Amino acid sequence: MIKLTSVYKEYPRSGAALKDVSFHVQKGELAFLTGHSGAGKSTILRLIQMADFPNAGEVRVSGFSSKTVRRREIPLLRRKLGVVFQDFRLLRDRTAEENVAFALEVTGVKRTTIGQRVNRVLTQVGLSHKAQAFPDELSGGERQRVAVARALANEPLVLLADEPTGNLDEWAARGVFDLFREINSLGMTVLMATHDLDLVRAHPEYRVIELAQGQVVYDSKAAASPAAPPAAARSVEVPAIADTRGS
Amino acid sequence: MPYALREALSAFRRSPLLAFLSVIAIAFSLFVIGLFGLTTWNIGRAIDKVEEKVEIVAYLDDATTPAQLELAQTEGRALPGVLEMRYVTKTEALANAMADMQEFHDVFADLDNNPLPASLEIRMQPGSRTPQAVRAVAERLRAYPFVEDVRYGRDWLERIYLIRRLAGGAATLIGVAFALVAAIIIATAVRIAVFARREEISIMRLVGATDGFVQRPFLLEGLMTGVMGGLLAALLTWGAYRVLSATMFKIEFLPGQWIVLVVAVGTLFGFLSSMVAVRRHLEEV
């Protein structure tokens, strides 16, 4: 579903962001992408969305390859991806319902279908009763649920989450993650970038890919006997790598 | 209402002043062109009317023999651009003069000799009424020894042509200057609209809206600005025509096709300006 092969990514100003990154997330898998700020998590998510391209290597997502994809095909790829962010990215002047409908409207879904689909996903995230509320009237957890509903609206194959619990209190964070597990149990591939190690440790049943300084330093799936124990398994934190780039 | 149309209309609501300025800038740029169009059109019409009357009159010596007259007529009709050549006898000339100038009727009637010369009146073909063609024929006639004088409206003919050319040139220059201002204002409007909607645009891209879909509201907005600018320009030109007609001289309004052209150019201009601006600014979001 998502396959990175020897991916290198360098930014002109800040230098190397990814160095020889390879991993393969299978269909239906839920995987954590962990690491410190600046380790390259967000860069990987951007590459998967083809908002950016590797300098070397290949990113393959649901049949689209970073080497051969054409600009006009990228929107089609993105319709197969649902993305949620730490800062929710909801439109403040639209209700929860309108925010979800927006994603459908701008991808050309029929008006008659939109109403039903919005209802279904809002129910799925447990917010059907707040459909008419504006983002400012919702709690952080509720906002993230609206964002998840929006990500699910286009019936994607993959859910990408970039620090989705970063702005939430622990209770809300658990709620959102439980939602991800539920979505995953229905067959959707989920890749979640997070530095919430407590959350990662609490779910050893899921795969962990750990990045440090742009390299994969641990992959729970590839390493039955890891060369180095993962940060997720360590009790002492590795000091943060100085980097001006975002996580 | 489709998304693109709704968003395009909301842009007018969001920054009405800028939208208004864009419309005004396009309208003015086209109004200048319309105004000069009005001028050149009417000068053109005046030239056409005058040209129909453009005649070269060759006054003949009284001593001209029928053979010489015959020669001049045969040769003259063969000259390039000559439509017809008419011989006006001394008697006819006097009759014409008496008919034209009733108040001098008695004076003419009392004359012992007819003082008016016979003449050849030449009319040119429609395409050959330019100063050059007329001059060529006039000079050829002047070369006959029995031709005393040749008259034609050389000076004013050349001047009227010059005015038409100048008006056309000035219209182009001022129109282009206004068009540039309009393009800059439209680009600014697009930039502000893109900035105001940057969150929305980034979400649209995130969820897989196509570039065309993202651009459509902006292009539609440009199109609407252009249509309004074009219509306003047509209205202003019409107003100018009414004012000029009422206060200065009777002129004709531009033909329908010209007005359609003004609106079409405005529309296209608004559309293209938006397209250039939106492509540039969307890259920045």
* Residue among A76, A89, A102 minimizing CB distance to B208: A76
Q: What is the least distance, in Å, from the CA of A40 to any CA of chain B?
A: 20
Q: Return the number of other C-beta atoms located less than 10 Å from residue A41's C-beta.
A: 26
Q: Which residue of A has its CA nearest to B200?
A: A91
Look at residue B235 in the predicted model and tell me its pLDDT.
93
Q: Do A102 and B203 touch (CB under 8 A)?
A: yes
The mean pLDDT of chain B is 82
In a domain, residue A55? The reply is yes
What's the Rg (C-alpha) of chain A? Answer: 18
Q: What is the least distance, in Å, from the CA of B244 to any CA of chain A?
A: 51
Instruction: Answer yes or no: are the C-beta atoms of B14 and B227 closer than 8 Å.
Output: no
Q: What are the b/e assignments for B230-250, b being 16+ CB within 10 Å? A: bbbbbebbeebbeebeeeeee
Question: Which amino acid is residue A172, in one-letter code?
Answer: A
Q: Sort B95 into a burial class: Cβ within 10 Å, 0-12 / 13-18 / 19+.
A: middle
Strands (E), A86-169: 158-162
**pLDDT tens, residue order, chain A (247 aa):** 899 999 999 999 888 899 999 999 999 999 999 999 889 999 999 999 999 999 999 999 999 999 999 988 999 999 999 999 999 999 988 999 999 999 999 888 988 899 999 999 999 999 999 999 999 999 999 999 999 999 999 899 999 999 999 888 988 999 999 999 999 999 999 999 998 888 999 999 999 999 999 999 999 887 654 455 555 555 444 444 444 444 4
| pLDDT 10s digits, A94-111 | 999 999 999 999 888 988
Q: What is the least distance, in Å, from the CA of B3 to any CA of chain A?
A: 8
Q: Do A105 and B203 touch (CB under 8 A)?
A: no
Q: Which residue of B has its CA nearest to A73?
A: B210
Q: CATH number of the domain at A246, please.
A: 3.40.50.300
Residue A210: closest CA among A225, A220, A202: A220
A72 touches chain B (CB under 8 A): yes
Chain A residue numbers touching B209 (CB-CB < 8 A) = 75, 106-107
In a domain, residue A224? The reply is yes
Residue B235 is encoded by which pair of tokens? 């209205």
Residue B81 is encoded by which pair of tokens? 């651009």
Look at residue A240 in the predicted model and tell me its pLDDT.
46
What's the Rg (C-alpha) of chain B? Answer: 31
Residues in chain A: 247
Look at residue A235 in the predicted model and tell me its pLDDT.
46
Question: Which amino acid is residue B193, in one-letter code?
Answer: A
Residue A118: closest CA among A155, A157, A75: A155
In a domain, residue A187? The reply is no
Please write down the long-range contacts of A17-21, taking CB distance under 8 Å and 24 or more positions apart.
A17/A43, A17/A214, A17/A245, A18/A43, A18/A44, A18/A47, A18/A54, A18/A214, A18/A215, A19/A213, A19/A214, A19/A215, A20/A57, A20/A215, A21/A57, A21/A211, A21/A214, A21/A215, A21/A216
**pLDDT tens, residue order, chain B (285 aa):** 787 888 888 778 877 887 888 888 888 888 887 887 787 788 777 767 766 666 788 898 888 888 888 888 888 888 888 888 888 888 888 888 778 777 777 777 777 788 888 888 888 887 777 778 888 888 888 888 888 888 886 666 677 778 777 877 887 788 788 778 878 877 777 777 778 778 888 888 889 999 888 888 888 988 998 899 889 999 999 998 888 888 877 788 888 888 888 888 888 888 888 888 888 877 776
Look at residue B162 in the predicted model and tell me its pLDDT.
80
Alpha carbons within 13 angstroms on the beta-carbon side of residue A114 total: 15
In a domain, residue A121? The reply is no
ipTM of the complex: 0.80
Q: Is the dihedral of CA A184, A144, A163, A9 positive or negative?
A: positive
Chain B residue numbers touching A83 (CB-CB < 8 A) = 206
The percent of chain A in helix, strand and coil, each rounded to the nearest 5, is: 35, 25, 40
Residue B132 is encoded by which pair of tokens? 């050059």
Look at residue B52 in the predicted model and tell me its pLDDT.
67
Look at residue A144 in the predicted model and tell me its pLDDT.
93
Name the DSSP class of A241: P
In a domain, residue A53? The reply is yes
Q: Do A89 and B203 touch (CB under 8 A)?
A: yes
Look at residue B164 in the predicted model and tell me its pLDDT.
73
Name the DSSP class of A147: H
Look at residue B265 in the predicted model and tell me its pLDDT.
85
Strands (E), B55-197: 55-60, 82-88, 119-124, 147-151
Q: What is the least distance, in Å, from the CA of B215 to any CA of chain A?
A: 11
In a domain, residue A57? The reply is yes
Residue A226: closest CA among A236, A217, A235: A217
- For the domain with range B55-152, which CATH number is right: 3.40.50.800, 3.40.50.300, 3.30.70.3040, 3.40.50.1820? 3.30.70.3040
CA distance B194 to B184: 15
In a domain, residue A27? The reply is yes
Look at residue B111 in the predicted model and tell me its pLDDT.
76
In a domain, residue A240? The reply is yes
**What residues does each domain of chain B span?**
3-48+158-282, 55-152
Q: Do A79 and B211 touch (CB under 8 A)?
A: no
Q: Which residue of A has its CA nearest to B198?
A: A91
A89 touches chain B (CB under 8 A): yes
* C-alpha separations of A64 from A47, A68, B92, B100, B129 in Å: 12, 8, 95, 91, 70
Can you give the pTM of this predicted structure?
0.67
Residues of B with CB under 8 A from a CB of A: 3, 199-200, 202-211, 213-214
Chain B residue numbers touching A78 (CB-CB < 8 A) = 205-208
Q: Sort B112 into a burial class: Cβ within 10 Å, 0-12 / 13-18 / 19+.
A: exposed
Number of domains in chain A: 1
Q: Which residue of A has its CA nearest to B213?
A: A106
